[in-house]
Amino acid sequence: MLVLGFMTGTSLDAVDMAVLETDGEAIHAFGPAGERKLTDAMRNVLLEATRQALAWPRGAPEPPIFHHAAEMVAEEHFAAAEAFLQANNLSWPDIDLIGMHGQTVLHERPKDGVPGRTVQLGDGAMLARLTGRPVAFDFRTADVAAGGEGAPLAPIYHVARARASGLKPPLAMLNIGGVANVTFWSGGDEVAAFDTGPGNGMIDLLVQGRGAGRYDAGGKYASVGRVDEAVVRALLADPYFQAPPPKSLDRHDFSLAPLEALELEDAAATLVAFTAEAVKLAFETVGQTPTEVIVAGGGRHNPEIMKALRSRLAVPVSTAEDHGWRGDSIEAEAFAYLAARTFRGLPLSFPKTTGVAQPMTGGRISLP
């Protein structure tokens, strides 16, 4: 099947798109990949939807903005893909299936016997009508309903991607988005995964909160700051880091309050160290030493994050591009792959990736 995958991350930067030829097991070919930046109108609606989601009491009706935002997300995806397909000499009839992750506005892990909650906004039925193609979406809800974390879901694709490149285990794949997550591939079908801690999300919120832009472009603030190791230790004292995996996070789960007394540059440098130390702690928790860590996601564009990982981890650290991967498109590729698995009724999540009792299928499909 030729599958178009979509991903929009919590950085609210762009609609990422990638085409795979896959049956949800092997990857037969890599089609084009690209992105379209979110419009300001879309970003503003999603910011407000996120604000309302964080204040949404359990048991209360969902905020009306969710429906409006979900339709806008579908329209934004359609517009992005129209230009993308045309630029790559493709048309909608060429696409057999679409995988749309949707925009995460809320993610709460299960805790103390209380089930988790996860919300990804994107109207799959509307996108199917607009494109005339079947759309797989809502990939996380079934896992959460079964007591799972609902995240991360990309590990099964990480392993397929590594196999397609002829890489051998033991291997770790680290995705640094708003939150960072790691996949440990021990060999065969042995896969473990969880969210390690913050990725870019806290740095973005810090910079935005100080009125210094949307993100720390090129690590320019962190590069001239000094790490406050005492603050790093205080942040790592959060109970999350003592909890056994599998486990998952929302980009808003950690407070910026411990950084309030620091100058912007020092705070940014301290958050970079926090991200890297949380990854180091993840390796210690699992007790595995991979031969290599391959880094994908937006965080690899921040040279300070890459420098911190290389200095604080005891294993070689490479980027997705070092292996010929498209580092900005891994998650869009992953949701194309997961869409194919949804279509075929194959599992998306596993006991060692989300904590479900047994491998779980997931996702829903809307037909045009």
> For 180-188, what is the mean pLDDT?
95
Q: Compute the distance between CA of residue 16 and CA of residue 120 in angstroms, rounded to an integer.
A: 15
| Per-residue pLDDT at 288 exceeds 90 | no
DSSP letter assigned to residue 245: S
This prediction's pTM = 0.95
Domains, the chain, ranges and CATH? 2-151+329-366 (3.30.420.40), 166-323 (3.30.420.40)
Omega before 152 cis (within 30°)? Answer: yes
Amino acid at 159: V
pLDDT band at 287 (very low <50, low <70, confident <90, very high): confident
Q: Compute the distance between CA of residue 28 and CA of residue 121 in angstroms, rounded to an integer.
A: 30
Q: What is the pLDDT of residue 250?
A: 92
Pairing of strands 293-296, 171-176: parallel
| Per-residue pLDDT at 332 exceeds 90 | yes
> For 43-71, what is the mean pLDDT?
97
Omega before 170 cis (within 30°)? Answer: yes
Contacts (Cβ under 8 Å, ≥6 apart) of 60: none
| Per-residue pLDDT at 188 exceeds 90 | no
